[in-house]
Amino acid sequence: MTTHANGLAVDVRGLRKQYGDVTAVDGIDLRIRRGEVFGLLGPNGAGKTTTVEILQGNRGRDGGEVSVLGLDPARGTRAWRSKVGIVWQDESAPAELTVRETVRHFARYYPRPRDPEQVLELVGLEGKANSRIKALSGGQRRRLDVALGVIGDPELLLLDEPTTGFDPAARRQFWELIRLLADEGTTILLTTHYLEEAEALAHRLAVVARGRVVAEGTATALRDRFGSEAVVDWTEADGTRRRERTDTPTRTVAELARRFDGEIPGLRVGRPTLEDVYLRLTGQEDAR
With respect to residue 202, please indicate whether it lies within any of the assigned structural domains: no
Q: Indicate the range of 59-73, 178-192, 274-288 predicted with least confidence.
A: 274-288
Cβ-based neighbours of 160, under 8 Å, separated by 6 or more: 48, 49, 52, 86, 87, 88, 89, 191
Helix (H, G, I), strand (E, B) or coil at 31: strand
**Interval 217-238: pLDDT, tens:** 999 999 888 877 788 999 999 9
Rounded (10°) CA dihedral 244, 250, 252, 254: 150
In-domain check, residue 60: no
Dist. CA 42–CA 37, nearest whole Å: 17
Measured CA to CA, the distance from residue 253 to residue 236 in angstroms comes to 14
In Å, what is the CA distance from 222 to each residue of 152, 193, 227, 276, 281? 34, 17, 7, 11, 10
Residue 26 has φ and ψ, to the nearest 5°, of: -125, 60
Nearest CA-CA partner of 234 in 259, 211, 198 = 259
Q: What is the pLDDT of residue 4?
A: 55
Q: What is the total count of domains within the chain?
A: 1
Average pLDDT across the chain, whole number:
90
For residues 80-106, give the mean pLDDT: 87
Q: Using an 8 Å Cβ cutoff, are 103 and 126 in contact?
A: no
Flag whether 22 is in a domain: no
Higher pLDDT, 287 or 216: 216
Examine residue 272 and state whether it is found in any structural domain, yes or no.
yes
Residue 92 pLDDT exceeds 90: no
Cβ atoms of 77 and 228 within 8 Å: the answer is no
pLDDT digits (tens, 9 = 90+) for 126-142: 999 999 999 998 888 88
User: Is the CA virtual torsion 51, 27, 31, 202 positive or negative?
Assistant: negative
Per-residue pLDDT band at 1 (split at 50, 70, 90): low
Following DSSP, what letter does each residue of 114-148 receive, concatenated? Answer: PPHHHHHHHTT-GGGTTSBGGGS-HHHHHHHHHHH
Residue 73 covered by a domain:
no
pLDDT at position 2 over 70: no
pLDDT for res 285 = 66
Winning range, highest mean pLDDT, from 55-69, 155-169, 222-236: 55-69
Evaluate whether residue 251 is within a structural domain: yes
Q: Is residue 278, in this structure, part of any structural domain at all?
A: yes
Task: List the domain range (segments joined by +) for residue 238.
Answer: 224-287
The rounded distance, in Å, linking the Cα atoms of 52 and 54 is: 5
Counting residues of the chain whose pLDDT is more than 90, the rounded percentage is 67
Rounded alpha-carbon distances, angstroms, from residue 134 to 91, 123, 130, 218 = 11, 18, 12, 40
pLDDT-derived band at 272 (thresholds 50, 70, 90) equals confident
pTM to 2 decimal places: 0.82
pLDDT for 172 equals 87
42 domain-assigned: no
